């Protein structure tokens, strides 16, 4: 799992595993920052933690080559991005195609990139939310397979909307991973499959 910050999605995933709601195992957590709060959650769970600081690699290609080497040591079935604040090179993405998963705080393809909560309010969108998708070379453009919708309230500011979306992200990522772990959802020949059939629209979960 790749992180850069507080690691709240990592925490939610570890809690779901401990509670038996997610049948998976986190092999390692790699952070792009030494001060990422999420490293503490992994260390408490006796999970291998590593830090690969971007400041040590002026070229993105060199950073991603080193990152790829770290990941491959663990032979993971999936590589999860959870607040990993780096844009990955096309070569790295191709190496892990079909195994690289990201969660994004918007209803993709709406609001790709950063500042999604501020932009949702600026654009007076009635609905916001979060998406889980397979990562491809183009930023936030890989096939989306699971989403949750969160209404934008009249009294919302960016902080209140972000807090409500984040709460739903935790549920969404766990459910997405369980679908993958159960084999109900997967990737084959560039196509997302759900229960063995092509998935043409993202599955939706109800906001809890």
Structural domain of 147: 2-205
pLDDT value, residue 167: 96
- Say how far apart CA 33 and CA 51 lie, in whole Å: 6
pLDDT below 70 — which residues of the chain? none
State residue 106 phi and psi, 5-degree precision. Answer: -165, 170
pLDDT value, residue 190: 87
Q: What is the CATH number of the domain that holds 57?
A: 3.40.50.170
* Active-site residue identified among 23, 34, 65, 104: 104
Q: Is the dihedral of CA 121, 3, 100, 92 positive or negative?
A: positive
Residue 143 class from Cβ within 10 Å (0-12 exposed, 13-18 middle, 19+ buried)? Answer: middle
- Say how far apart CA 12 and CA 27 lie, in whole Å: 16
Known catalytic residue: 117?
no
pLDDT value, residue 208: 76
**What total number of domains does the chain contain?**
1
Quote the DSSP letter at residue 142: S
Give 151-175 pLDDT, tens digit per residue.
999 999 999 999 999 999 999 999 9
């Amino acid at each position: 799992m790749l992180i850069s910050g507080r690691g709240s999605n990592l925490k939610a995933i570890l809690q779901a595993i401990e509670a038996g709601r997610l049948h998976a195992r986190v092999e390692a957590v790699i952070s792009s920052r030494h001060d990422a709060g999420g490293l503490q959650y992994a260390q408490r769970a006796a999970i291998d933690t590593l830090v690969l600081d971007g400041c040590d690699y002026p070229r993105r290609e060199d950073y991603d080559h080193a990152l790829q080497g770290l990941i491959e040591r663990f032979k993971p079935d999936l590589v999860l991005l959870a607040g990993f604040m780096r844009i990955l090179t096309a070569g790295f993405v191709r190496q892990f195609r079909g195994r690289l998963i990201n969660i994004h705080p918007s209803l993709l393809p709406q609001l790709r990139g950063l500042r999604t909560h501020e932009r949702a309010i600026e654009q007076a969108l009635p609905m916001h939310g979060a998406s889980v998708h397979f990562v491809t070379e183009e930023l936030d453009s890989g096939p989306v397979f699971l989403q949750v919708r969160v209404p934008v309230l009249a009294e919302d500011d960016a902080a209140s909307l972000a807090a409500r979306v984040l709460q739903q992200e935790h549920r969404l990522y766990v459910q997405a991973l369980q679908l993958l772990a159960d084999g109900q959802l997967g990737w084959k020949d560039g196509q997302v499959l759900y229960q063995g059939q092509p998935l043409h629209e993202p599955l939706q979960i109800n906001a809890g």
